[in-house]
Amino acid sequence: MTLVFAHRGASGNHPENSLSAISAALDVDVDGIELDVQSCRDDYAIIHDTWLDRTTNGRGMVRHASREELNALNAGNGEGIPTLQDVFNLIGTNTTINLELKHTYCLDKFVQYIEKNVNAGIVERSQIILSSFDHHQLVWLKQKLPWVKIGTLTASIPLNYAEFAQQLHAYSIHMDKNFINHEFVLDAKQRGLNVYAYTVDKQKDIELVLDMGVDGIFSNYPCHAKMAINKLSETKGA
């Protein structure tokens, strides 16, 4: 069965990267939740953009604000911006957590953060996928956390297809749905990589990427995506 990851939580119906979006995704029993993490002044914040103005009533850059200041903002429906710890506490051991590193610094501290939560039993090693467009960061993180699953992000079709992900000892390759073809998917699978496509919401797009043989999709509407995939599976099995 094709896996469904809630993209920024169930962000189609709730504020993206919010605790309510995460809770809604958990309610529909998703296979994983993808969230954006970046550094703020004294912690790690769950927010996509470098600047605050698109998704909150704040202004300025995320990295210049403290966690208290971020939590006091309205990021939608009166919710503040959660920290990474808030996310770990909410999700617990319930599902896969894909953390996409955006403007994330102090990676030594980030590694300690992950290890502390794993050692405390709040989350498990097998749950964590760390993904990024910055493949240099992924190499460094894999050296520090050899057990961690690495997801290589790409919005292109490289000349050597998925070779770059294999060189990074990645667990998965996360492909933009607009830059995906049968050859790319086949090459990735032959290299032992899981193939996930983002961001897949529309029925036709779901059908297209499933026809290409992806292992999972990232969707803003995980409930709809799960129903669509189940229906397609039933149709093919009929």
Amino acid, res. 75: A
Q: Could you tell me the two tokens for 90?
A: 């909410």
Handedness of CA 212, 215, 221, 222 (dihedral sign): positive
Which residue, among 168, 167, 165, has the nearest Cα to 195 in the 3D structure? 165
Distance CA 218, CA 137 (A): 22
Q: How many CB atoms lie within 10 A of CB 171?
A: 18
List the catalytic residue out of 14, 48, 136, 174.
48
Asked if 35 contacts 17 with a C-beta cutoff of 8 angstroms, the reply is: yes
234 burial (CB, 10 Å; 0-12 / 13-18 / 19+) is exposed
**Residue 48: active-site member:** yes
**Residue 224: active-site member:** no
List the catalytic residue out of 7, 14, 174, 224.
7
Catalytic residues: 7, 48
